[in-house]
Amino acid sequence: MDLALAPLDVQRIRQDFPILSQTVRGRPLVFLDSGASAQKPRQVMDAMRACMETAYANVHRGAYHLSEVATENHEASREAARRFLNAARVEEIILTGGSTSAINLVAHSFGRGMLKPGQRVLVSEMEHHANLVPWQMLRDDGRGIGLGFIRITDAGELDLDSLHAELRKGDVGLVAVTHMSNVLGTVTPAGAIARMAHEHGARVLFDGSQAAVHRRVDVQALDADFYAFTGHKLYGPTGIGVLYAKHELLEAMPPFLGGGDMIETVTLERSTWAAPPARFEAGTPPIIEAAGMKAAIEYVEAIGMEAMEAHERSLVDHAMRVLPEVEGLTLVGSAQDRGGVFSFSLDAAHPHDLSTFVDRRGICIRAGRHCAEPLHERLGLESGSARASFGLYTTHGEIDALAEALREARRFFA
């Protein structure tokens, strides 16, 4: 079905998401937590059901027809991810358990296998824990690999002067930064970051968990060495994600997990490794989830990323007008380039109380530190923040409903 709609027909799109038709306590469901995990269209559900009902078998291993069909379908999912990121070749696409798995793969394989003692990994102050904790673990395992930090401005933007100062020290082997903050909505200047890193001999990894949902990503144009995203934020299933890596790096990197399908030969004494991508995909892969992710990619491609970006800009502009009008509300961050993620505090209520209050009006928002504790400490938000994050199905009316619920909350708690 051709969904290419310009401008985006949100009400038509919402019909593809069965969960959005339900009510909560007699009120329409307003789902504003897509940044944590997006809802799923019927096309994804149908693809996963069809995989189980008509074409399920283990892949890459069977010599019978059903396994061959399953393998072809599975590899078509890899090709969809290649196309989505505009990778040069399909062998540069590793199917993982998600962004966290992808980043850990890089930390273990590239970090432990290719970085040298005395080198450092740079991360920013706005990283999700998934792009911080693996590098702390690498720093602490006694290999002599350090960890440095790129500062952010008070507006919540990456401080490029801080990045340049760290790179000039000459010991940075990898820059690992978010492409879009899951707290601030800040979109980082990925192309400039990659150029600066490469000029100083460092590789660059982008955590694209949020950005891949909201912006067109071209890993060749960015000159990214590594790029990670996850299926469940892209309207697909949980349990699957993608690591893109330049082929020459994958060829040089040792495997992370050992087991079936990642080997070339095995004897009792030693093993040799398969070529990428199989080298990094030990064990039975997420076969059904791959079918769902392929359907999700095809779904957003049919709608068109340009239409989705235009819709998001409209939502962001509307939220920037409506939310600051709520008395006592403070938005977190004021980046010039931002996506549809808004964290905020309300002077009269703790974020958890606020989330509970608006939930009684059918509105789903996040409360806490959003797996970014250092960022909240940097911003002086010890109690955390509330967060509303948008999807392609979000409407202006839902943002208005949130604003009105926040006004009610302030009256109630005050």
Task: Indicate which residues carry an active-site annotation.
Answer: 371
Contacts of range 70-76, beta carbons closer than 8 Å, 24 or more positions apart: 70/287, 73/290, 73/291, 73/294, 74/285, 74/287, 74/290, 74/291, 76/294
CB-based contacts of 152, cutoff 8 Å, min separation 6 = 124, 125, 126, 158, 159, 186, 375, 378
The separation between the first and the last C-alpha atoms of the chain, rounded to the nearest angstrom, is 50
DSSP letter for each residue of 44-70: HHHHHHHHHHHS---SSS--SHHHHHH
What is the three-class DSSP state of 228?
A: strand
- Residue 406's alpha-carbon distances to 166, 211, 265, 320, 389, in angstroms, are 42, 27, 61, 15, 15
- CB count in 10 Å sphere of residue 212: 29
Residue 236 tokens read as 């697909």
Residue (of 291, 198, 239, 216) closest to 97 by Cα position? 239
On the question of a cis peptide bond just before residue 277, with omega within 30 degrees of 0, the verdict is: yes
Give the Cα separation of 112 and 98 in Å (integer): 20
Asked whether the beta carbons of 107 and 137 are under 8 A apart, the reply is yes
Give the Cα separation of 370 and 185 in Å (integer): 12
Give the Cα separation of 124 and 128 in Å (integer): 10
